[in-house]
Chain A
Amino acid sequence: DVKVTQSSRYLVKRTGEKVFLECVQDMDHENMFWYRQDPGLGLRLIYFSYDVKMKEKGDIPEGYSVSREKKERFSLILESASTNQTSMYLCASSLPGASEQYFGPGTRLTVT
């Protein structure tokens, strides 16, 4: 059974803190994605990686960075968390091409 896991389901951080969100997939997928989901705005792509050490900016990369040192792991980093980064963060993985994406359960991040 395919699986994408995320390090935390709920996270509360203070403004200015550095935040790491981890995502691991066990399907040997090349592509990995980080989205945030907000009411009325849907899922918006933050960053995308199509191979180890390769990344591309999505639609809303400002305030975020990513790291992909191993194929199975894709990390999202908030260098200095702000309240407008309070959101649900979803990681996904897929085979190459615009194919089915498999999502993790999400991390609800609250920045106070």
Chain B
Amino acid sequence: RKEVEQDPGPFNVPEGATVAFNCTYSNSASQSFFWYRQDCRKEPKLLMSVYSSGNEDGRFTAQLNRASQYISLLIRDSKLSDSATYLCVVNKGGYQKVTFGIGTKLQVIP
């Protein structure tokens, strides 16, 4: 089983739609979780950290389910500018290194 698994997509959604991505991880000792965003031909940038209690930043909501070992990202009222690849990132159970998922591609259509 891969350390971090994501559906690569693409997810094609109309503007204004709500879309959700899941990411599963295999190491139950993992403690830190993140979502990064990568635009085409650009470097990844942190979108948000994922906390145990869940967290929200504007139209974006991230949640952690430790029992089932997955994290999720919900995007409400999708904008054209949300089109990007979303990378799930999980630390290696206490180490400083992290593992990146392959990313989920989102295309928001007018």
Contacts and interface: CB of A to CB of B under 8 A. Distances in A.
Interface of A: 31, 33, 35, 40-45, 48, 50, 56, 58, 90, 96-101, 103-106
B46 interface: yes
Contact of B103 (A42, A48, A98): A42
> Chain B interface: which size bin?
20 to 34
A100 B34 contact: yes
Query: Which residue, B34, B44, B46, has most C-beta atoms of chain A within 10 A?
Result: B44
Contacts of A43: 44, 87, 100
Interface in B15-44: 31-32, 34, 42-44
B97 A48 contact: yes
16 contacts: A40-B102, A44-B100, A45-B99, A50-B96, A56-B97, A96-B96, A97-B32, A98-B32, A98-B91, A98-B95, A98-B96, A98-B97, A100-B34, A100-B46, A101-B98, A103-B43
Contacts, number: 48
A17 to B, nearest CB: 25
B44 A103 contact: yes
Interface of B: 8, 31-32, 34, 42-46, 49, 87, 91, 95-103
Nearest to B43: A103
A33 B96 CA distance: 11
Given A43-B44, A103-B43, A103-B45, A97 B102 contact: no
Closest 8 A/B residue pairs (Cβ): A98-B91, A42-B102, A103-B43, A98-B32, A43-B100, A100-B46, A42-B100, A103-B44
B62 to A, nearest CB: 14
Nearest to B33: A98
Contact of B98 (A98, A103, A104): A98
Query: Which residue, B91, B96, B98, has most C-beta atoms of chain A within 10 A?
Result: B96
Given A56-B97, A96-B96, A103-B44, 13 more contacts: A31-B96, A40-B102, A42-B102, A45-B97, A45-B99, A48-B96, A90-B43, A98-B95, A98-B96, A99-B32, A101-B44, A105-B43, A106-B43
